[in-house]
């Protein structure tokens, strides 16, 4: 697959050949759904477990007579009604960390990239070097007609671009190692640099 390389000033800068094994995979809704569900489940945080009746370090000795004491017939001080007793129906630690095969995760990422390539919303840029001005970057993106955009760079994101995009809520910036299915599918436009393309293709070919 061949695609034109653009620059931030909306001018062309040659072509780049994209690997069909990465950017031309036929998307499948079931695979994408599995990967997105797995990714969102991984983000969930569990509640801190509370100490229940069996977890409290108090005596289990019966502290009063069964009858004649004028009080309720308690068996030990671990009961939730006592200060220092166990919590009744307390929060418990839950496992929100499902497993998913690496092959499915890799396939989902290829399909997410291919979805943008197939829809024509994939843009490849030579680099992200820009004057670190938010207004200048906003104007460039408006000129290019980009809406909610995910920008993926190489090993690290260009510092000037990251500073300029810091206050623009419609632009999300990630290094190539952070490319993920959820953020890619959530964006209207996917922007990759030449370095990002090389890293992503090497990631799957390695």
Domain boundaries, the chain: 2-44+99-205, 46-95
Contact 136, 169 (CB under 8 A): no
Task: Supply the pLDDT for residue 101.
Answer: 93
Express each pLDDT in 133-185 by its tens digit.
888 888 888 888 888 999 999 888 888 888 888 888 899 999 999 999 999 99
CA distance 95 to 41: 9
Which H/E stretch holds residue 115?
helix 102-119
Q: Does domain 2-44+99-205 have CATH number 3.40.1370.10?
A: yes
CA distance 123 to 191: 5
pTM over 0.85: no
Task: Supply the pLDDT for residue 100.
Answer: 93
Lowest mean pLDDT among 16-20, 32-36, 178-182: 16-20
């Amino acid at each position: 697959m061949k695609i034109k390389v653009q620059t931030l000033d909306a001018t062309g800068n040659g072509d780049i050949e994209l690997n069909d094994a990465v950017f031309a995979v036929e998307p499948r809704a079931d695979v994408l759904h599995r990967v997105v569900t797995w990714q969102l489940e991984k983000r969930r945080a569990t509640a801190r477990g509370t100490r229940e009746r069996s977890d409290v370090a108090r005596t289990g000795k019966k502290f009063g007579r069964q009858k004649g004491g004028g009080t309720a017939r308690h068996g030990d001080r671990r009961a939730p009604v006592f200060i220092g007793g166990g919590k009744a129906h307390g929060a418990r630690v839950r496992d929100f960390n499902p497993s998913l095969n690496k092959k499915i995760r890799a396939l989902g990422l290829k399909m997410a990239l291919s979805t943008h390539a197939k829809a024509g919303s994939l843009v490849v840029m030579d680099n992200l070097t820009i004057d670190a001005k938010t207004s200048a970057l906003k104007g460039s993106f408006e000129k290019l007609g980009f809406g909610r955009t995910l920008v993926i760079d190489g090993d690290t994101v260009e510092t000037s671009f990251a500073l300029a995009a810091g206050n623009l809520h419609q632009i999300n910036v990630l290094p190539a190692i952070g490319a993920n299915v959820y953020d890619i599918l959530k964006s209207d436009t996917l922007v990759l640099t030449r370095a990002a393309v090389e890293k992503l293709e090497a990631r799957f070919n390695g």
